Amino acid sequence: MQVRVVCSDCGYAEKVAKSRIMKRGRAPKCQLCGKPTQLPAAVRRELAALGEEEDHEVCRVCDAPLKGGVSFCAKCGTSQEGDAREKLAAAQFEFDREAEKRLGALRFQTFLRRIFGRWFW
């Protein structure tokens, strides 16, 4: 059965399988802006009757619901506590990339000095 969901931010409407909503226990995200969509009232009541909350935590990788503050996803096994480590790794990667650029420029400059050093430097 298809259910019509509407984005709360941009107003984009689409039809989504009701089984998909019930399986994940939450509303899907908008295809245009990525914000949460609004579920029809009947579907919200049905989710509430099942004891599911709309705003519970989900896995960052596979979107499976996490139960009771668990730090690992039971479905895919990924850790959910990686925010600080991920930011540090991204910053380190960016620093390494800049260092590689500087080192490459220095190597190229050294190469040019060896070839043209007699005439220009």
What residue type is 101 in one-letter code?
A: K
The number of folded domains in the chain is 2
Q: In the sheet that 37-38 helps form, which strands lie side by side, from edge to edge?
A: 13-17, 2-7, 37-38
- The length of the chain, given as a count of residues: 121
74 shares its domain with 87: no
Could you give the CA distance from residue 78 to residue 75 in angstroms, rounded to a whole number? Answer: 8
Taking the chain, what is the end-to-end CA distance rounded to the nearest angstrom? 77
49 shares its domain with 94: no
Could you give the CA distance from residue 72 to residue 79 in angstroms, rounded to a whole number? Answer: 5
50 shares its domain with 88: no
Tell me which residue of 35, 34, 38 sits closest to 16, measured CA to CA. 38
Separation in Å, CA 52 to CA 66, 69, 72, 117: 12, 15, 20, 74
What residue type is 45 in one-letter code?
A: R
55 shares its domain with 111: no
Q: What is the pTM for the complete model shown? A: 0.37
45 shares its domain with 94: no
Contact 2, 17 (CB under 8 A): yes
9 shares its domain with 45: yes
74 shares its domain with 96: no
Specify which of 8-17, 56-65, 80-89 reaches the highest per-range mean pLDDT. Answer: 8-17
109 shares its domain with 121: yes
Mean pLDDT of 4-29: 83
Tens of pLDDT, residues 21-61 = 877 777 888 888 888 888 888 787 787 777 645 456 777 66
Domain carrying residue 6: 1-79
24 shares its domain with 64: yes
70 shares its domain with 118: no
Contact 21, 9 (CB under 8 A): no
